[in-house]
Amino acid sequence: MRAVLDEVGRVAPSTLPVCIHGETGTGKELIARAIHDQSPRRGAPMRSINCGAIPATLVEGMLFGHERGAFTSADKQQKGLFEQAHGGTVFLDEIGELSLTAQAALLRVLETKKLTRIGGDREIDVDVRVVAATHRDLEAMCDAGGFRRDLLYRLNAVVLDLPPLRERVEEIEPLVAALLAEANTSSGRAVRGLSPEALELVRRYPWPGNVRELKNAIERAVVIARSDLVTEADLPARVREAAGRVSNAPEEGAGELGDFKERVRQQTQKLETEMIVEALRRTNGNQTEAAKLLNMPVRTFTHKMKELGIKKTFG
């Protein structure tokens, strides 16, 4: 995350579009806000929309506005988010959910810096920086015809990959402290921390919902805690069940089990490496085609290459 934040500091002063990629709950909107707040546009508005939460028939109106009488319920003129954010930033969350029609309209605005409200015939100049976010593999969507490649090229001038929380275990404890303070303020409690056993469960749980799930778990624990410490019993059942309880004494055969797991991990990595190298050989080094051959998203494929130390150039 330090590397991500360093890159945010470098790209924020520019006007380049930014595409943030990461699992749900990793903090993509916070990164978008950081880009805006560190940019020369911070004095102008930042407007946000979740493209997956708005019906496809309404998205263009939300983005670009409409004129009075444009449709049955349009009883007055309405500016869209792009006009509202003139001089500032528009954050398009879950951009992979946009319809192809809306993608075409967005591409035109990005290229011409002009928009036309629905039901209107006048072009309006707009100056906005677009920050987009998605948890989906947009390159794979382009291959499947679900996303416009020309729009992808406009949006991914800078790509920021947010790692999931399970890969940032060292951040869990400081995150818990910050979230605990927020939860205390909002609930009027004075919980001072987590018991060692509860903290260990939190550290061992994989957090598929990432920081958002962690925040919800801490908020819940603070509200129901019976003392000034969050205990194991105050954590959600899924955390207790998935992470298991910490034993004070090592289990019999723990060393052998650890050795066995390490051998399995090494064999798995060896097999993955052989499969990826073979796929690259068959496709003459074309990573997109190799990923398709393995029925794997391109981002996952390139991440695996990096993780396994396979060179990007192949021959």
Q: What is the pLDDT of residues 151-192, one digit of tens each?
A: 999 998 899 999 999 988 899 999 999 999 999 999 999 999
In CATH, the number for domain 2-163 is 3.40.50.300
Give 146's pLDDT tier (boundaries 50, 70, 90). very high
Res 199 pLDDT > 60: yes
Res 66 pLDDT > 90: no
- The yes/no answer on whether domain 167-243 falls in CATH 1.10.8.60 is yes
Strands (E) in the chain, as ranges, are: 18-21, 46-50, 89-93, 114-116, 123-125, 129-134, 158-161, 193-194, 229-230
* C-alpha–C-alpha distance, residues 171 and 203, integer Å: 9
CATH 1.10.10 domain extents, the chain: 254-308
* Residue position matching structure tokens 């303070």: 181
Q: What percent of the chain has pLDDT over 70?
A: 91
- The yes/no answer on whether domain 254-308 falls in CATH 1.10.1060 is no
* Residue position matching structure tokens 């998203």: 297
105-124 average pLDDT score: 91
CB count, 10 Å around CB of 194? 25
Res 248 pLDDT > 70: no
Res 270 pLDDT > 90: no
In 3-state terms, what secondary structure has residue 183? Answer: helix
Closest CA to 235 of 219, 212, 259, 251: 219
Q: pTM for the whole thing?
A: 0.71
Res 249 pLDDT > 50: no
pLDDT at 245: 44
272-279 average pLDDT score: 82
Q: What percent of the chain has pLDDT over 90?
A: 57
Q: Could you tell me the two tokens for 182?
A: 């927020």
CATH 3.40.50.300 domain extents, the chain: 2-163
CATH 1.10.8.60 domain extents, the chain: 167-243
CA distances from 40 to 62, 83, 126, 131 (A): 25, 18, 16, 15
63-77 average pLDDT score: 81
Whether 180 contacts 217, CB under 8 Å: no
